[in-house]
């Protein structure tokens, strides 16, 4: 059975106390601050993150080995960055013994499968040290970003300083502070089709997952899920990397996270059923052994 | 071993009808190899046309191999690392390599293995999918007429696949631990191990997977609208034939060796949510099972 919010040990609202990270953060700077903390404390040797690509706002996986490289990879890109591509490479060319990884739920499905079934991942499963997850409803192919930003919001992609999905809108802010928003209804048809069979919203398979939904602007909702994740999270909080609030005391709170997760899972389960009956007495494959 | 056949039934596999075989004549050599091992399963390694990389991957479990040989496995056959000449009865036969259709002795070995083993495990892609031997056209000294090499599933039923070239020590380790838990574990562990093994047994019975290549990933994942561009296939490919172009896999099919790694490792080939939710305890279980005494 698919768990709506996954297994977790703690859930809370948090943002980093590191001003340099927070200045450029998508929300609470959780991922960047956690990796910076883990690098400083030798919990990881490096982290696979979605860094900048050759084209403006293109997500491209990179191995960040220091704070500067982490800062360069900040902010949500909303287009496909195949982070799993570097997982084996990080333990080879980069020589990492303790790998940090951040990804959206589907990548973490690949990552945990690579640990539990390391069919083609020699010497990888035991080197994964910290796995961070990001809430994800869907992503866009790069060409969809071009279409959405340049056609629908009439901005040049290279002049965009931040993109955001929230409160039913896709919002684009430029360097000159022009803000354009289009309703999500317009963006749906540009989504990556492979996302429509995904049954995970809040990165159930991460050690720690975070996202903006459920907390006020500038804060993030954080799920601490595994023993490893809890040790890292408690260590970082004890060192003063984060300020936190109980999730019950913030608006809109966990109810909204549950609502959106349920919506995503219900919608995509329906898609799976429709796919299976797409033809006449025939249909498309369902990849899941249990749903 | 009644347990193994009941497991195969439980997993949906056909129970192999064992033909009545007369017990092999007990030579001095065979007697010396025989030991009383009630708690261990009888495992052998049958070498067909393979490069020995798969059995080397097994030894690459390093210290874990001692734990395996001490506690879990009685190694009854394997021309590379055990001095036994006749294929004995086995609980688990690890078959490495494709079968050469012009080599009658080899075909006989494969037939004997199937008839005398409870579970036949194809280890490595040559045995699972034919791998690079699919491209062989013969003409080599000293048997130039040896030209057709087939995955063993073309000739016998295979129960479990451990694909990739070479298979990883960690996947072999996990398979051994799960097989052992299935036999000796608590009820919960048996259920867990059964779930874990099911997809590997399904692969062994899937016709398209027995001919796997990048095309399999293309046809069964990408063309089916399931790919979400995570990049796992690109990391899996042992020959770096897969690159990610604008977030989607692109296979250089001239480089593809038909090993089936990309499809097997892809999270959209098979994925069990119930099992994966327990990833932390599964990894702890495996590490616990392999910990030295």
Overall average pLDDT of the B214-218 stretch: 96
Complex ipTM value: 0.94
Does B176 or A273 have the greater pLDDT score? A273
Give the alpha-carbon dihedral of A58, A120, A136, A62, to 10 degrees. -30
- Whole-angstrom CA distances from B120 to A124, A174, B8, B114, B160 are 27, 61, 11, 7, 7
CB < 8 Å to B258, chain A: none
List the beta strands (DSSP E) in A127-218.
Answer: 128-134, 160-166, 169-174, 179-183, 208-211
A18 min Cα distance to partner chain B (Å): 30
Q: Establish if B175 touches chain A: CB-CB under 8 angstroms.
A: no
Does A47 or B15 have the greater pLDDT score? A47
Overall average pLDDT of the B81-97 stretch: 90
Please list the residues that pair with B49 across neighbouring strands: B98
B35 min Cα distance to partner chain A (Å): 33
B1 min Cα distance to partner chain A (Å): 27
Q: How much is the pLDDT for A1?
A: 82
B242: closest chain A residue by CA: A85
Pairwise CB contact (< 8 Å): B283 & A116: yes
CB < 8 Å to A90, chain B: none
B277: closest chain A residue by CA: A205
How do the residues of chain B divide into helix, strand and coil, expressed in percent and rounded to 5? 45, 15, 40
- Residue B279 has its nearest CB partner, among A103, A110, A115, at A115
A243 CB-near residues (< 8 Å, 6+ apart): A14, A15, A17
Kindly give the confidence (pLDDT) of every residue in chain A, 291 residues in length, as a single tens digit, with 9 standing for 90 and above.
Answer: 889 999 999 999 999 999 999 999 999 999 999 999 999 999 999 999 999 999 999 999 999 999 999 999 999 999 999 999 999 999 999 999 999 999 999 999 999 999 999 999 999 999 999 999 999 999 999 999 999 999 999 999 999 999 999 888 999 999 888 899 999 999 999 999 999 999 999 999 999 999 999 999 999 999 999 999 999 999 999 999 999 999 999 989 999 999 999 999 999 999 999 999 999 999 999 999 987
Overall average pLDDT of the B20-26 stretch: 53
Pairwise CB contact (< 8 Å): B170 & A89: no
Backbone dihedral region of B112: left (phi > 0), alpha (psi from -120 to 50 degrees) or beta? alpha
CB < 8 Å to A125, chain B: 170, 283
CB < 8 Å to A89, chain B: 235
Q: How much is the pLDDT for B36?
A: 47
B58: closest chain A residue by CA: A122
Specify the residue for token string 């495992």. Answer: B43
DSSP-assigned letter for residue B152:
G
Q: How much is the pLDDT for A60?
A: 95
Q: How much is the pLDDT for B5?
A: 58
For chain B, give the mean pLDDT.
88
**Whole-prediction pTM value?**
0.91
Pairwise CB contact (< 8 Å): B229 & A195: no
List the beta strands (DSSP E) in B69-125.
Answer: 73-78, 90-96, 99-100, 117-123
Pairwise CB contact (< 8 Å): A112 & B279: yes
Q: Establish if B274 touches chain A: CB-CB under 8 angstroms.
A: yes
pLDDT in tens, B158-167: 999 999 999 9
* Chain A with chain B: Cβ pairs closer than 8 A: 185
Q: How much is the pLDDT for B16?
A: 46
B132 min Cα distance to partner chain A (Å): 16
In this predicted structure, the answer to whether residue B292 has a pLDDT above a threshold of 60 is: yes
B17 min Cα distance to partner chain A (Å): 29
Please list the residues that pair with A12 across neighbouring strands: A222, A246
- Residue A290 has its nearest CB partner, among B226, B272, B283, at B272
Distance CA A235, CA B274 (A): 30
Q: How much is the pLDDT for A9?
A: 97
Q: How much is the pLDDT for B1?
A: 42
Q: How much is the pLDDT for B52?
A: 93
In this predicted structure, the answer to whether residue B8 has a pLDDT above a threshold of 80 is: no
Contact between B169 and B175 (Cβ < 8 Å) = no
Tokens, residue B265: 């490792």
Which of B10-19, B67-76, B183-192, B208-217 has the weakest average pLDDT? B10-19
pLDDT in tens, B116-153: 999 999 999 999 999 999 999 999 998 999 999 999 99
Q: How much is the pLDDT for B185?
A: 84
B162: closest chain A residue by CA: A119
Closest CA to A230 of A130, A99, A124: A130
Pairwise CB contact (< 8 Å): A120 & B238: yes
In this predicted structure, the answer to whether residue B6 has a pLDDT above a threshold of 60 is: no
Please list the residues that pair with B38 across neighbouring strands: none
A283: closest chain B residue by CA: B224
B172 CB-near residues (< 8 Å, 6+ apart): B57, B58, B61, B123, B162
Side-chain half-sphere exposure of A22, counting CA atoms within 13 A: 14
Pairwise CB contact (< 8 Å): A194 & B227: yes
Burial class (CB in 10 A: 0-12, 13-18, 19+), A181: middle
Q: How much is the pLDDT for B11?
A: 55
Pairwise CB contact (< 8 Å): B283 & A285: no
Backbone dihedral region of B31: left (phi > 0), alpha (psi from -120 to 50 degrees) or beta? alpha
Distance CA B67, CA B176 (A): 11
């Amino acid at each position: 059975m698919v768990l709506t919010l996954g297994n977790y040990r703690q859930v809370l609202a948090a943002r980093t106390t590191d001003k340099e990270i927070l200045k450029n953060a998508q929300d609470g700077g959780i991922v960047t601050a956690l990796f910076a903390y883990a690098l400083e404390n030798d919990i990881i040797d490096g982290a696979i993150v979605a860094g900048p690509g050759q084209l403006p706002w293109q997500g491209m996986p990179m191995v960040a080995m220091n704070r500067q490289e982490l800062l360069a990879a900040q902010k949500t890109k909303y287009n496909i960055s195949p982070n799993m591509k570097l997982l084996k490479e990080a333990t080879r060319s980069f020589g990492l013994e303790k790998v940090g990884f951040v990804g959206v739920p589907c990548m973490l499905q690949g990552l945990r499968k690579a640990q539990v079934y390391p069919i083609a991942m020699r010497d990888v499963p035991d080197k994964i040290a910290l796995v961070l997850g990001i809430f994800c409803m869907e992503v866009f192919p790069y060409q969809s970003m071009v279409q959405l930003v340049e056609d629908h919001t009439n901005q040049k992609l290279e002049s965009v300083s931040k993109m955001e999905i929230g409160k039913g809108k896709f919002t684009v802010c430029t360097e000159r502070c022009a803000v354009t928003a289009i309703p999500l209804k317009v963006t749906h048809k540009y989504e990556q089709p492979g996302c429509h069979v995904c049954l995970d919203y809040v990165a159930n398979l991460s050690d720690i997952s975070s996202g903006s939904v459920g907390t006020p602007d500038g804060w993030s909702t954080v799920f601490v899920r595994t023993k490893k994740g809890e040790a890292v999270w408690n260590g970082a909080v004890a060192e003063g990397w984060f300020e936190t609030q109980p999730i019950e005391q913030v608006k809109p709170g966990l109810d909204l996270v549950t609502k959106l997760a349920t919506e995503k899972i219900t919608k995509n389960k329906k898609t799976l059923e429709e796919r299976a009956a797409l033809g006449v007495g025939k249909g498309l494959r369902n990849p899941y052994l249990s749903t | 071993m009644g347990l193994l056949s009941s497991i195969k039934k439980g997993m949906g596999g056909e129970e192999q009808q064992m033909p009545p075989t007369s017990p092999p004549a007990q030579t001095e050599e065979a007697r010396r190899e025989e030991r009383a091992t009630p708690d261990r399963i009888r495992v052998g390694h049958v070498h067909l046309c393979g490069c020995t990389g798969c059995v080397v991957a097994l030894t690459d479990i390093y210290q874990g191999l001692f734990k395996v040989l001490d506690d879990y496995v009685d190694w009854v056959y394997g021309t590379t690392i055990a001095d036994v000449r006749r294929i004995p009865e086995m609980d688990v036969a690890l078959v490495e390599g494709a079968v050469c259709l012009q080599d009658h002795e080899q075909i006989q070995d494969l037939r004997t293995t199937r008839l005398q083993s409870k579970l036949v495990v194809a280890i490595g892609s040559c045995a699972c999918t034919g791998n690079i031997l699919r491209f062989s056209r013969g003409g080599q000294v000293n048997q130039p007429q040896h030209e057709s090499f087939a995955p063993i599933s073309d000739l016998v039923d295979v129960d479990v696949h451990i694909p990739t070239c070479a298979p990883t020590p960690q996947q072999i380790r996990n398979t051994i631990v799960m097989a052992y838990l299935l036999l000796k574990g608590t009820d919960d562990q048996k259920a867990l191990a059964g779930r874990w093994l099911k997809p590997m047994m399904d692969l062994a019975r899937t016709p398209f997977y027995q001919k796997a290549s990048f095309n399999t990933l293309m046809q069964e994942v990408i063309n089916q609208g399931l790919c979400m561009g995570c990049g796992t296939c690109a990391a899996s490919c042992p020959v770096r034939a897969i690159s990610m172009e604008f977030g989607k896999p692109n296979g250089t099919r001239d480089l593809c060796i038909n090993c089936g790694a990309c499809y097997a490792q892809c999270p959209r080939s098979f994925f069990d949510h119930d099992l994966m939710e327990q990833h932390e305890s599964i990894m702890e279980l495996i590490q616990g099972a392999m910990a030295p005494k």
